[in-house]
A = this chain, B = another copy of it.
């Protein structure tokens, strides 16, 4: 019942087993070059005492902490939670723990988190930068003594490794698809236009529209249901109402859909809808919503893999400088459902 207040230490074990600390150390590190009998005896004592090596002490001897830091905007967001899940899986496969921190996309919080993580001497850092352009962030990241991999958004003008989606091309594909359907007045609905991903998607939208010689209509006021409702109503009541919506992110797509549904505006008959980023019930709602899908899980996985690669050959490699900066760009996929006007086979 009573909890042990103190953890037994390596020297406790050594004393109990009647051996030196060196031997115990060898035992807990694989038991090589130890007499089989001694080994068995020591192991028994370890078991009996419930001894567990103190990671802090190991770390202090100049070794790895066996932890990596993960800095993301939010965990509640399914996109980032999937990244996190993948990253932690890779970490565990590498016998490491993930230190989780969230920034809410606030640069100040982000710096605080990084500071804390660095104090804890994480072996590496996985980060979704709140602001791709931030000078201070870039400086900190380049000066840090550990490998860093940026996720979802690159760190501009730096050699920091990154794994991002081709948001630009994805947005072109989506917008083009709407254009191919014959829509002429395609509005781009968006919010938080300071984020790298959103800006890239808007850029893609513009590119596709210009190429088709259509007018860009951009409304970047959508933050929640209320603002989406206001935006869509205004657009619809305007002089030349849009015939299609390209939503630049998950939540915007959902809000737009809810508004249209509430207003009893038939989709895609009166207005079509296509969103960037897939979501759980996109194929379940009526009509099913067409989207540009990102390889969410792959983003987190690849990023973590790259990080551990760097960690691995930092240890052995004679050429730590020879590694080119890794800049992975993952492709998106157009998922044709019904909201854009397509009539996909019932899956």
On A, residues with C-beta under 8 Å from B are: 1, 3-7, 50, 52-57, 59-60, 65-67, 70, 74-76, 78, 81-82, 84-85, 88-89, 92, 95, 97-102, 113, 115-121, 142-145, 254, 257-258, 261-262, 280-281, 284-286, 346
Q: Tell me the smallest distance from the CB of A53 to a CB of chain B, in Å.
A: 6
Q: A75-B85, A257-B284 are in contact. List 11 more A-B contacts (CB 8 A).
A: A3-B144, A4-B145, A5-B145, A56-B65, A67-B120, A76-B85, A97-B99, A97-B117, A98-B101, A99-B99, A100-B100
Q: Tell me the smallest distance from the CB of A221 to a CB of chain B, in Å.
A: 21
* With contact pairs A98-B99, A119-B54, A284-B258 given, residues A81 and B76 touching in the complex (Cβ less than 8 Å): yes
Q: Tell me the smallest distance from the CB of A258 to a CB of chain B, in Å.
A: 5
In the complex, chain B residues whose CB is within 8 Å of the CB of A119: 52-55
Instruction: Please state the number of chain copies in the assembly.
Output: 2
Interface of A is mostly: mixed
Q: Do B102 and A88 touch across chains, with their CB atoms under 8 A apart?
A: yes
Task: List, sorted by A's number, 11 A–B pairs whose CB atoms are closer than 8 Å.
Answer: A1-B142, A6-B145, A56-B59, A56-B121, A67-B99, A75-B82, A75-B85, A97-B116, A97-B117, A254-B280, A254-B284
Q: Do B98 and A100 touch across chains, with their CB atoms under 8 A apart?
A: yes
In the complex, chain B residues whose CB is within 8 Å of the CB of A120: 55-56, 66-67, 97
In the complex, chain B residues whose CB is within 8 Å of the CB of A100: 70, 84, 88, 97-100
Q: Do A143 and B3 touch across chains, with their CB atoms under 8 A apart?
A: yes
Q: CA separation between A261 and B119, bound complex, in Å?
A: 53
Q: CA separation between A54 and B65, bound complex, in Å?
A: 11
Most buried by B among A84, A95, A346: A84
In the complex, chain B residues whose CB is within 8 Å of the CB of A143: 3-4, 50
Q: Do B3 and A145 touch across chains, with their CB atoms under 8 A apart?
A: yes
